[in-house]
Amino acid sequence: MVLFMNPGVESNSESISSESSINSKLQLIERNLVEVVTREELQEIIASGKPRAYVGYEPSGEIHLGHMMTVNKLMDLQKAGVDIVVLLADVHAYLNEKGDFDEIREIAEYNKRAFIALGLDESKTEFVLGSEFQLEREYVLDVHKLARITTLNRARRSMDEVSRRKEDPMVSQMIYPLMQALDIAHLRVDIAVGGIDQRKIHMLARENLPKLGYSSPVCLHTPIILGLDGEKMSSSKGNYISVRDSPEEVKNKIKKAYCPAKQVNDNPIIQIAQYHIFPRFESFVVERDEKFGGDIEYRSFEELKKDFASGELHPMDLKISIANYLNKLLENTREKLK
């Protein structure tokens, strides 16, 4: 029997008990991460009391499986007893040419609702608009101080992964990584969470914040999942699954998705199984006709990966089941966003 962990209730309302070991909390925090910088510092922070972690999101019109990567990690952190701050980065979005402030703030409000619908515990999550503190005198002075000790090349390298204009960047985009580093200090967080594409900005923060009298953050980096076509996920390509996609849209998109037989690396369907399905369900059942071997239940991602790599599990059988589980996962979110 499939045991569904309701993302809006059971999976996030219960934190790991105080009797649980530091190692248990670390194991939960570190699962499905690409990198922790550094584990020793993370262990000290978790053991020290009540740590704070944050992630910043440029407000986006569509919340998709890419956003869910970091939301899942924030939920892991909440269960490990970490306070969560979500920065709805309206000023960053403005600097990165995502619209005017009125448009961006309207989208930010939708994003907040979507993150809560996905399972973040609202009572344990602080949502902050960047414009609430990034225009204050002390913050702006810190931007100038950080600009004096950061080379133009370093700022540009830090921004390359997330910039809309890599080839011909605006000056505003050079300010972006400096602000992102300072967000960590001014939000008073111990842990910075982001995709691995945020690494250069996080390393800039670790190196230069102490020069301004602030602490270096611990950095948790999640993978960047591929778009459904096997290429980089992009809103312009539509190669993603949105939390607002209907059940039928999810099924159709998954059926058409890139999923070569026996290929477990660089396979978006395998990534969805690893990063979205197995962390949220006790088991994963692939329903098959008896002539194709009948139903098969997986209780770990490694078991599924082994069968897919050997050819025991057919891509279409996997796709159909992935679509069904994604729809279960998104059912509660869709209802809350109506």
C-alpha–C-alpha distance, residues 310 and 320, integer Å: 19
pLDDT for the residue numbered 163: 59
Nearest to 244 by CA among 61, 10, 9: 61
pLDDT digits (tens, 9 = 90+) for 123-172: 999 999 999 999 999 999 999 999 999 998 898 888 766 655 667 778 88
If phi over 0 gives left and psi between -120 and 50 gives alpha, with beta otherwise, what is residue 262?
A: left
Asked if residue 188 and residue 78 are part of one domain, the reply reads yes
What mean pLDDT comes out for the span 316-320?
97
CATH number at residue 72: 3.40.50.620
Phi, psi (deg, nearest 5) at residue 180: -65, -40
Residue 49 burial (CB < 10 Å; 0-12/13-18/19+)? exposed
Take residue 305 and report the two structure tokens written for it.
């990966």
Q: Which residues pair with 250 in a beta bridge?
A: none
Residue 52 burial (CB < 10 Å; 0-12/13-18/19+)? middle
Within 10 A of 229 (CB to CB), how many other CB atoms are there? 16
- The yes-or-no verdict on residue 2 having pLDDT over 80 is no
Asked if residue 305 and residue 265 are part of one domain, the reply reads yes
pLDDT digits (tens, 9 = 90+) for 31-68: 999 999 999 999 999 998 889 999 999 998 899 999 99
What mean pLDDT comes out for the span 65-89?
95
Query: Confidence band (pLDDT; 50, 70, 90) for 4?
Result: very low
**Domain range for residue 295?**
247-336
What residue type is 9 in one-letter code? V
Residue 230 falls within a domain, yes or no? no
- The yes-or-no verdict on residue 1 having pLDDT over 80 is no
| 15 and 46 Cβ atoms separated by less than 8 Å | no
Number of compact structural domains in the chain: 2
Residue whose token pair is 């809006």: 8
Asked if residue 105 and residue 174 are part of one domain, the reply reads yes
Most distant CA pair in the chain, distance: 70
Q: What is the mean pLDDT of the chain?
A: 90
What mean pLDDT comes out for the span 256-280?
96
CATH number at residue 320: 1.10.240.10
Asked if residue 268 and residue 214 are part of one domain, the reply reads no
- The yes-or-no verdict on residue 182 having pLDDT over 90 is yes
pLDDT digits (tens, 9 = 90+) for 211-238: 999 999 999 999 999 999 999 888 778 8
